[in-house]
Every structure is written in structure tokens, then in C-alpha cells.
Amino acid sequence: MKNSPAKKRFIILGLLPAFALYIIFMIYPTLTVFKESLYKTGGLSGKKTFVGLANFQKLFADPKFIKAFQNTVFLIVIVTIITMFLAVIFAAILTRGKFRGKNFFRIILYIPNILSIAVVASIFSSIYGMDSGLLNGLGRLLKPETWQNIAFTGQSGLVTYSIAFAMIWQAVGYYMVMYMSTMAQIPEHLYEAAKLDGAGRLRQFFSITLPLSWQTVRTTLTFYVISNINISFQLVKALTDGGPNGASMTLLNYQYLEAYNNSNFGYGLAIGVVVFLFSFGLSAIIYQATKRDIIQY
């Protein structure tokens, strides 16, 4: 039978292992974080005191937390917008463009994505270095008498922009490839019909390419916003360790500092709760803001 009890039991038994693993490794740890954020604890010391919402009240009066939150929002907004914009443009050019060396450019743009964060940090340390860095070296070469070395990762006004550039460089190729796979599936006859109607390349992009790729753009946008929080933590940890004087600190970097370096485990978990709620709420907002009717072709 199509809906026989035996079939229902088989489906339930098949789902039970995955459901159990989800509860053990996702739901339970998440609830534990929420619970432990209500305590003042020294981590592995075993001594903890219930303080209720005191950790959260302390957070929003903490200038270091506010600075870390501002840096996180800045990196999410700036890096995501520029990365998605460049990825869509490069994908459209390399999918629809007719020129030699397209495969070469695809490889060159994708290579940064296969590098680990440690390697990316090492590369940009060599680029941003004060004395032997590539950018300062070019400056001294072009203006040998007037150039003054710039501390790209040592000045509070420049460090977040330097980190943002490194994140964009590392991520563009990955999303470009995803968009290229979607754009390659768009029927050629739609572009031919648009040409007959007198539509130029720019009009074709906004009327055909982008609308028919929107579901992929929407999905990757939500995915990247969430992953951005984790990637920024790794890159900041490897490149600047939150310096100078906390100017490049992100939420996860501050959480790590408080929980493990300062042994303020409950306070660190309170930061983790804020990160969880912030990322969840931001994802929901993006999901609703980018909702469009699916175009069939």
C-alpha cells in the first residue's frame, strides 16, 4: 500500500538516527550554551555562580564588545555586498563573454578559495608589511623621496579595510563558480530573442541573467553572511589577533578572548548567544528581503 503502516514505520526508523544525531550534536549543545551564559564560571574550574542576565547587561555596557559588534557588522555588510557584486559580474562575463583565456581567468579567480585561512593571512602579511610589504615597496618605488610607510594592519582606521579586502579576495572565486553553473543553464534562445528586440548586453543581464539566477544569488547571500562571521574570526586571529588595541576585534574573537584567555567562560558564552541570535535574525531578514517570485523558463 502507498501509505501502509509498514512504510511509515520504515520512514520513521530511517529518520531516527539522523534526528538523534541532530539533537545530540546541535540542539543539546545550543541549549547548553544558553544555560551556561546565565552563570559566572571559570570554565574548567567547576565553580560557577548563577547570575541570570547579568552577563548580557554587562555586554551592552562593554566598549570592547560594542567595538567588536561594529566591526562584525561592517565586515558582514561591506564584504558581502562587494563579494556578491564581483562574483555575479565575473560569472556573467566568463559565461557570456567571448574572448580568449576564459578558462585561465576562471582558474586564477578560483585559486584563492582553495587556500587555507593561514595561507591567506601569510600572503596578506607579506602584502601589508610595514618595511618589506609589497604595497609599501611599490610606494617607495613610485615615490622614493616622499613615500612614508603605511601600517595597513597597525592603524585602527585601516585595519578593518585591510581585512575586508583579504576576505573579498579569498571568497569571490567560489561564488563566481556557483553563479557560472546557474548562468550556463539559461537557454540561449532567450538571449537571441532579446537581441532581436534590440536589447544590449547590459539590458540582457538585468532582464535575463540576473532574474533567472536570483534563487542562487539569494541562497548564497544567506550562506555567506553566516559563514562570514566565522571566516572573519579566523582571518583576524591569524592576521592581526584583534589588534591594534582591539581595533580589528570581531564578536567571535572577543568571545574567544574572554572565554579562554581571560577564563571568563560564562561571559564568553553570553557573547556566543548574541552571535547566534544575531546571525539567525540577520538570515531571516535577508530571506524575507530577497524573496521574489520564481521565474520559470
For 198-253, the DSSP string reads: T--HHHHIIIIIHHHTHHHHHHHHHHHHHHHHHHHHHHHHHHTTT-STTTT--HHH
Per the CB < 8 A criterion, the answer to whether 214 and 296 are in contact is no
Q: In the predicted model, what is the mean pLDDT of residues 174-193?
A: 90
Grid cell, residue 27, equals 540542539
**Phi, psi values for residue 49, rounded to 5°:** -125, 130
CA R_g for the chain: 24
DSSP assigned state of 147: -
Please say if the pLDDT value at position 289 is more than 60: yes
pLDDT digits (tens, 9 = 90+) for 81-131: 999 999 999 999 998 878 788 888 889 999 999 999 999 999 999 999 888
Q: In this predicted structure, what is the pLDDT of residue 45?
A: 60
Task: Place 296 in a pLDDT band, splitting at 50, 70 and 90.
Answer: low
For the residues 177-200, what does the mean pLDDT come to? Answer: 89
Q: Which residues pair with 49 in a beta bridge?
A: 40
Provide the 3-class DSSP secondary structure of residue 41.
strand
Residue range 32-44, pLDDT digits in tens: 888 888 888 765 6
- Whether the pLDDT of residue 66 is over 90: the answer is yes
pLDDT (0 to 100) of residue 122 = 92
Helix (H), strand (E), coil (C) string for 194-205: HHHCCCCHHHHH
Residue (of 244, 240, 221) closest to 232 by Cα position: 240
User: Rounded to whole angstroms, how far apart are CA atoms 271 and 67?
Assistant: 13
Q: What is the mean pLDDT of residues 191-198?
A: 88
Per-residue pLDDT, 2: 58
Of the chain, the percentage scoring pLDDT greater than 70 comes to 96
pLDDT (mean) for 186-208? 88
Reported for 27-36, long-range contacts at CB under 8 A and 24+ positions apart, including other chains, are 30/276, 33/269, 33/272, 33/273, 33/276, 34/273, 36/265, 36/266, 36/269
Task: Report d(CA 151, CA 166) in Å as an integer.
Answer: 15
Among 220, 244, 229, which Cα is nearest to 74's? 229
With a cut of 60, say whether residue 1 has pLDDT above it.
no
Answer whether residue 279 shows pLDDT above 60: yes
| Confidence band of 47 (pLDDT split at 50, 70, 90) | confident
- 229 has a pLDDT exceeding 80: yes
- Give the residue-averaged pLDDT of 45-67: 86
